[in-house]
Structure 1
Amino acid sequence: MRIGELAAASGVSARALRHYEEQEVLVPERGSGGYREYTADDVVRVQQIKAMISAGLGTATIRRYLDCVRSGEHGLALELCPELRAELEALAGRLGAQEQEIREKQQRLSELLTEG
């Protein structure tokens, strides 16, 4: 399938697919004439990439750990390599700290609003 067909099948824009290719997380075959050729496996791969991006991982991290991702009958699952587990735990810690900072700012804003 061509890039437009993969975009339609995966729900990701052709532009995003080209970005994934530039970041080396999606590597299509090249057919005659140099056109990108994608397979059904690439649809699954794009879904895996989307899931990892939505969880807050950058493409550099995804590139390192994409081989740890599996798609099973119950959807996407991560085979937690020790290094990937550490990355995810660090991300969760950063998100927790950001949440706390947001709560503190909300509290200060509430205090300012009630003082006025």
Structure 2
Amino acid sequence: MRHYEDEGLIVPGRCGNGFRDYCQSTIDRVLVIRTLLESGLPVRLIRTLLPHLGDGSTTGTDPVCAEFLREVQGFRDRLAARIATLSAQQSALDAYLRGRTVPSADRT
């Protein structure tokens, strides 16, 4: 949670004793951040995206948002290309393994 705070992704409240106070909306935001990070989206793009999530605004009409959407699309396209490469490599390994007999661990 402190990492997300350091990155400017969340701003927790403070109790009278100075301890951080994470309200439910901050916890919900952290769950969204984790999902976006797990998808591979860079923190820089997540930081740009977060203010627009759930605010009901019409995104995609201003130049900053349009540029952001192009960046996300580019990231998605690069990810799809990596997936295609990995799938081809997996298929090649599968074909190789089908043509080979795997030694049993029980044989001595």
What's the TM-score, normalizing by structure 1? 0.64
2:9 is aligned with 1:25: yes
Matched with 1:68 is: 52
Question: Any idea what the Cα deviations from partners look like across 1:5-60, whole Å, max 9, x if unmatched?
Answer: xxxxxxxxxxxx12211211011122322211222321332233233223321222
Give 1:114 shift: 4.0
Matched with 1:93 is: 77
Counterpart of 1:55 (choices 28, 39, 48) is 39
Query: Greater helix share, 1 or 2?
Result: 1
Give the secondary-structure state (helix, strand or coil) at the position aligned to 1:105: helix
Q: What runs of 5+ residues in structure 1 fail to find an aligned partner?
A: 1-16, 73-77
C-alpha change, 1:79 and 1:53, in structure 2 (3 Å) is: farther
Give the secondary-structure state (helix, strand or coil) at the position aligned to 2:54: strand
Give the secondary-structure state (helix, strand or coil) at the position aligned to 1:47: helix
Contact 2:13 2:22 in 1 (8 A): yes
Query: Greater strand share, 1 or 2?
Result: 1
Question: Any idea what the Cα deviations from partners look like across 1:86-106, whole Å, max 9, x if unmatched?
Answer: 122112111111111112212
Provide the identity percentage: 29
C-alpha change, 1:114 and 1:52, in structure 2 (3 Å) is: closer
Give the secondary-structure state (helix, strand or coil) at the position aligned to 2:10: coil
Contact 1:70 1:79 in 2 (8 A): no
Matched with 2:105 is: none
Contact 2:45 2:72 in 1 (8 A): no
Matched with 2:103 is: none
Number of aligned pairs?
Answer: 95
Q: What runs of 5+ residues in structure 2 fail to find an aligned partner?
A: 101-108
What's the TM-score, normalizing by structure 2? 0.68
> Bigger relative contact order, structure 1 or 2, given CA contacts below 8 A and separation 6+?
1
